[in-house]
A and B are shown apart, each in its own frame.
Chain A
Amino acid sequence: GESVGLHLPTLSVQEGDNSIINCAYSNSASDYFIWYKQESGKGPQFIIDIRSNMDKRQGQRVTVLLNKTVKHLSLQIAATQPGDSAVYFCAENRGNDMRFGAGTRLTVKP
């Protein structure tokens, strides 16, 4: 069936390095994508979103790239900090509901 998935379940980076978290989606009709961050004991927190009429969007230290040709979404975090350690989810919007990936756990090493 159609699904939103992540390439890697875990990612470990050195503090100060850039992080790239990837996501694959299979529904070419999806037109809206979101990245969430979930810290331990908390709910998912909105990071950044992108619509299908764009291929790149930048926020504060974060960039989302959308490649509709290969149905791929990525989240880039610049100068990763210890506070960035969390599980990151991508989500695609399909009509009235959101479909989430299982998440990638990002660990930042000091």
Chain B
Amino acid sequence: ETGVTQTPRHLVMGMTNKKSLKCEQHLGHNAMYWYKQSAKKPLELMFVYSLEERVENNSVPSRFSPECPNSSHLFLHLHTLQPEDSALYLCASSQDPVSGDPNNQPQHFGDGTRLSIL
């Protein structure tokens, strides 16, 4: 049973719709991530939140807008998407090093939201 829950599991939307993806982690982690997974391509990091602050935005188009209201929840707001945005969107969480602690920890993933843009 995953400690990271994503909803919805599947989403079909038109290019003019507005929708949101939700992620919740029950692992007590302090960092959360959004990734895009397209067929036959490596995972693409989109956003990183550490201690509820956005620390990285990998040149993601503004039609994707993340929100992290607390350390357990992460949202990805979608607006005016393009057909090439159809993909599996994965959320992950980890316990990031703090105060110079060098011990990296693995990221734990949810099962993703399969997004299809019509």
Interface residues of A (CB under 8 A from B): 4, 31-32, 34, 36, 41-46, 49, 51, 89, 93, 96-103
Contacts and interface: CB of A to CB of B under 8 A. Distances in A.
A100 to B, nearest CB: 4
Contact of B104 (A32, A43, A44, A45): A32
Q: How many B residues touch the partner, as a band?
A: 20 to 34
Given A42-B112, A45-B109, 14 more contacts: A31-B104, A34-B106, A41-B111, A43-B6, A43-B111, A44-B43, A44-B90, A89-B43, A93-B104, A96-B96, A97-B48, A99-B42, A101-B42, A102-B42
A96 B48 contact: yes
Chain A interface mostly: strand
7 contacts: A42-B111, A43-B90, A43-B109, A89-B43, A96-B48, A96-B56, A97-B33
B72 to A, nearest CB: 17
Nearest to B97: A96
